[in-house]
Structure 1
Amino acid sequence: FLPLNRTRGIMNSTRLDSLNDALSKNLITFAISLIINFINGYFVYIYFKCRDFQQDPRYVLYIHLVINDMMLLTVSVVLQIMTYTMPVNFTHCCIMLLILVTTNSPLNLAGMAVERYIAVCQPLHHSQICTVRRAYGLIALIWVVSSIAPFTDIIIVLGTQPLSVFSKSIICYMSYVYNTPYHETQSVVLLLSFVLTTLIITYLKVVFTARAVSGSSQTSARNARNTILLHGVQLLICMLSFLSPTINVILLTAWPYDRTKILFGTFLFTNVFPRLLSPFIYGVRDKKFQSHIRRQFCFKCYNSTEKL
């Protein structure tokens, strides 16, 4: 989204932090990410504890989204802390960037939207089309498709850089690793456009179905419509991570003397806080998860009162 020299100039500004500023920022980031991963981890715990969730393709896709968010958050925070403390080996940096630049979340959202569309618009065929086995197959396909672009980046680096570069240490930013003119953003734009189109089509189909049916079917269609709409909101928020370099340049142009504060703020709002959306958009709204959370809470309260 940006010329590489401008991005490099921005990223170099992390060196301007004082020791106290760097320490406080890393502690804040670590604490927030720990809380978010704890909340997400609680939903993962409930999922694996109850077999009902594991036998429903909808929840299989949902928990994959949550685990993916946890993984991305952990790697991004570790990478952010490492940029403040030490240069990273080029090879290790490439491995971490392979994880960070995957586009699993948008593709997973598209899969979840299609599942809701089938549940509402093709209810008689839902159990045959949407199976747990096919959900795992879709997850495997998502990983394959989302890995094409990052592995292509690695191949480009191998073809344009000497092998000695892999033994060097660098500041681990994409602009330092992928600094050739061959790295473009068309693939990301194309993928996000595909996901957005999928969400719009499924949303409209569900809306038309909701108008045509009545009673409990209409309620189910309305819930599915709201869920797909939330998928769209989450997709837009997911896009913030791809737009963060552009956002940085816009903000730094307006406030050039607040570089470190702006970079830290955009990192939190584009890479950290969005990872909290999955449990609140889906988990807390879902009645099945609500009942299990309530049951777990009541069980713990009962045990604590018995001990007293």
Structure 2
Amino acid sequence: MADNYSVVDGESLRRQINDQVIIVQILVMIFLCINLLLIVTFFKKECFYTTTRYILFAVTLLSDSVILSISDILLILSYFRFTMQVWLCIIISVVTLLYLTVTPVTLTAMTLERYVAICMPLRHGELCSTRSTVHCILIVHGISSVPCIVILSTFFVSASLSFYKQYQICSVEMFIFYVWQDYIRSAVQQFYFLVMCIIIVVSYVKIMKVARAASGDDKKSTRKGLRTVVLHGFQLLLCLIQLWCPFIETSILQINFRLFVNVRYFNYIMFYLAPRCLSPLIYGLRDEIFFQALKHYASTGLCKKCFLAR
């Protein structure tokens, strides 16, 4: 009787995972299509790729698209229990670890850009030129590579040469051999979390002071900038919570596997997919100039399809 219950329970769990994988595929495809439309719109007008906030916005879109694509591929490979050699997994993980951090760091840079635009308007043209933005993107990628370097350095120290030729299911957890590695990874991520939170809060307080002192059109513009910083803060919070997800999931796995599956699914939807749909909301829909361009090119594309169909 107990065996029958375990078989039924295993079948229901399998069905549940099947449904979850299908739902994730639908959501990922929707977000990737939206991001692709926004990226195409970005490259259509010169004012977008010569303005700092739009350039940084495009960086987040590309970063989010890379993460969504790779994480979805790894999810499917894991679901079908597909293994690969460790050295290949390392290459994939380098990209994953890098762009997991690029998005929150870029959001922090976008918050600083809003701070400069509102609190230091006379220096905005100088500090946020196209050349400065390119340097900013390089700095963002440099800062974002530190956690990746730390995690992989501890792995290279601990792993034997034969391990690189082994076949494993690719995941970041594969690089953790000892508890101290987990502690180091956690310390680096907590440090990033703290620094980014301080930047967001300080920027918000400074912009709030300017908002109170402003009047007329300046007040309206400042309040819009303030709301943008709040949305960045919320998006950043979701991105940073995802850094804690592996620790939560590891603890739950030791308690109950079914609960682990449900928590991991919730974490993926809430802290991986949700922050990626906020970028289009903040600059794709709330920004009037970008929204008008998006609407124009989307409608133009539909008209062309209808014309060709005839």
- Same fold by TM-score greater than 0.5: yes
Given that 1:76 and 1:271 are in contact with CA atoms closer than 8 Å, whether structure 2 keeps it comes out as: no
Distance 1:256 1:293 in 2: 44
**What corresponds to 1:263 in structure 2?**
264
Distance 1:306 1:150, change over 3 A: closer
**What corresponds to 1:83 in structure 2?**
78
**What corresponds to 2:95 in structure 1?**
99
Greater Cα shift, 170-179 or 258-267: 258-267
Structure 2 residue corresponding to 1:29, chosen from 5, 20, 24 = 24
Structure 1 residue corresponding to 2:37, chosen from 20, 23, 42 = 42
1:59 positional shift: 0.5
Residues 150-173 of structure 1: CA deviation (Å, up to 9, x unaligned): 122222222221111111111222
Give the match's secondary structure for 1:30.
Answer: helix
1:250 positional shift: 7.1
Distance 1:282 1:263 in 2: 29
Greater Cα shift, 20-29 or 46-55: 20-29
Q: Does 1:202 align with 2:203?
A: yes
Residues 126-183 of structure 1: CA deviation (Å, up to 9, x unaligned): 1111111111111111111111221222222222211111111112222222223234
- Superposed, 1:52-63 pairs within 5 Å as 52-63=47-58
Give the match's secondary structure for 1:51.
Answer: coil
Distance 2:129 2:13 in 1: 54
Structure 1 residue corresponding to 2:66, chosen from 71, 78, 99 = 71
Residues 33-52 of structure 1: CA deviation (Å, up to 9, x unaligned): 11101001111000011111
**What corresponds to 2:127 in structure 1?**
129
Distance 1:281 1:255, change over 3 A: farther
1:223 positional shift: 0.8
- Superposed, 1:215-294 pairs within 5 Å as 215-248=216-249, 257-294=258-295
Compute the RMSD of aligned alpha carbons: 2.5
Distance 2:307 2:68 in 1: 38
- TM-score scaled by length of structure 1: 0.87
Distance 1:182 1:243 in 2: 15
**What corresponds to 2:164 in structure 1?**
166
Give the match's secondary structure for 2:294.
Answer: helix
Given that 1:17 and 1:260 are in contact with CA atoms closer than 8 Å, whether structure 2 keeps it comes out as: no
Corresponding letter in the other structure for 2:181: Y
Corresponding letter in the other structure for 1:135: T
Distance 1:48 1:246 in 2: 39
Residues 101-131 of structure 1: CA deviation (Å, up to 9, x unaligned): 2311121111111111111111111111111
- Superposed, 1:103-114 pairs within 5 Å as 103-114=101-112
Residues 180-216 of structure 1: CA deviation (Å, up to 9, x unaligned): 3234211111111111111111111111111112111
Residues 245-288 of structure 1: CA deviation (Å, up to 9, x unaligned): 34436766887644433332332222223211110122110001
Distance 1:303 1:241 in 2: 41
Q: How many residues align?
A: 294
Corresponding letter in the other structure for 1:230: L
Corresponding letter in the other structure for 1:55: T
Where relative contact order (Cα < 8 A, 6+ residues apart) is larger, the structure is 1
**What corresponds to 2:3 in structure 1?**
none
Greater Cα shift, 137-146 or 94-103: 94-103
Distance 2:213 2:145 in 1: 40
Distance 2:306 2:77 in 1: 45
Greater Cα shift, 245-254 or 198-207: 245-254
Given that 1:106 and 1:192 are in contact with CA atoms closer than 8 Å, whether structure 2 keeps it comes out as: no
Distance 1:45 1:265 in 2: 31
**What corresponds to 1:155 in structure 2?**
153
- TM-score scaled by length of structure 2: 0.86
Distance 1:295 1:215, change over 3 A: same
Distance 1:252 1:151 in 2: 27
Corresponding letter in the other structure for 1:73: L
Distance 1:19 1:186 in 2: 36
Distance 1:25 1:92, change over 3 A: farther
Residues 194-243 of structure 1: CA deviation (Å, up to 9, x unaligned): 11111111111111111112111111111111111111100111123112
Give the match's secondary structure for 1:101.
Answer: helix
**What corresponds to 1:3 in structure 2?**
none
Give the match's secondary structure for 1:55.
Answer: coil
